[in-house]
Amino acid sequence: MSKEKILAAYEQMAEAYNALVMHKPHNAYYDRPNTLRLLPNVKGKTILDAACGPGVYAEILMDLGALVTGFDLSPKMVDLAIQRNPGRGTFFVHDLSKPLERIGDHSCDIVLCALALHYIEDWSMTIKEFHRVLKSGGVLVISIQHPFYEFNFFKSKKYFEIEPVKCTWRGFGSPVEVHSYRRPLSACLSPLTGNGFYIDELVEPKPSKEFEPLDPKHFRELNEFPAFMCIRAVKRKGPT
């Protein structure tokens, strides 16, 4: 699967995503509250927002007193993140699957990667880079599509494989085909535990109450079966 297709999809969606993401139920009342809850106190903390999109997480975290650097594959998303956060934060174009040369060793207290790792086939380099840039005891918080949800949604017959999948999104402007990788639960956890992290908390989230009036059907479904999974992993102390 080509990175170009993912990039093209987000370049096409960027404006609509930016306009809607503050109140879109799956983002505002499902992913964000559950993912933010996994972060420690961020005041004065240095945070890397990996695949920052239009900078909504960065905005929330900087309002809480954090120092945020964000990057994204999509230049339009990076421009929107800069516009959303005038005069604060640092944002640049970068591919999650490439070495993070601009970020120093042990320079971050927290790395956040919300709803983006499923665009990467092989997580090992990315997680190793998150580990390198984090201080000892630093926290990595990720949110991803729940592996069991994806197995059902994509009607997979090969649970144990990492396989390319695609679906059409209709919620951010005109329909757009979004390509990603579905993987088993073990392939979500072993890149973390195998690269110097321990899993501190794993959340199968439920939507918050604001979700219900906006989208009662998905509110009911998400209370019966999770679509996302949020993880807090901690960089083990000791020699790296």
3-state class (DSSP) for residue 219: helix
Report how far apart, in Å, the C-alpha atoms of 148 and of each of 4, 74, 92, 96, 204 are: 27, 28, 33, 24, 11
Asked whether position 10 contacts ligand SAM by CB under 6 A, the answer is yes
Residue 115 as a binder of ligand SAM (CB under 6 A): the answer is yes
Q: List phi, psi (to 5°) of 211.
A: -65, -40
The reply to whether 73 sits near ligand SAM by the rule CB under 6 A is yes
Piece in contact with ligand SAM (CB under 6 A), picked from 37-45, 90-98, 200-208, 220-228: 90-98
Given 38, 47, 77, 82, the residue binding ligand SAM (CB under 6 A): 77
Q: Where are the beta strands (DSSP E) in the chain?
A: 46-50, 67-72, 90-93, 108-114, 134-145, 163-169, 176-182, 197-203, 228-235
94 vs 131 by CB, closer to ligand SAM:
94
* Binding piece for ligand SAM, criterion CB under 6 A, among 95-103, 158-166, 183-191, 229-237: 95-103
The single residue among 38, 52, 133, 142 that binds ligand SAM, judged by CB under 6 A, is: 52
Q: Distance between CA 45 and CA 159 in Å, rounded?
A: 38
Q: Does 234 bind ligand SAM (CB under 6 A)?
A: no
- The backbone torsions φ and ψ at residue 151, rounded to the nearest 5 degrees and listed phi first, read -55, -45
For residue 136, the minimal CB distance to ligand SAM (Å) is 25
Determine which residue in the list 39, 48, 51, 142 makes contact with ligand SAM, applying CB under 6 A. Answer: 51
Say which amino acid occupies 104: G
In angstroms, the CA 32 to CA 62 distance is: 15
Residues at the contact surface with ligand SAM, assessed by CB under 6 A: 6, 10, 21, 51-53, 56-57, 72-74, 77, 95-97, 114-116, 119-120
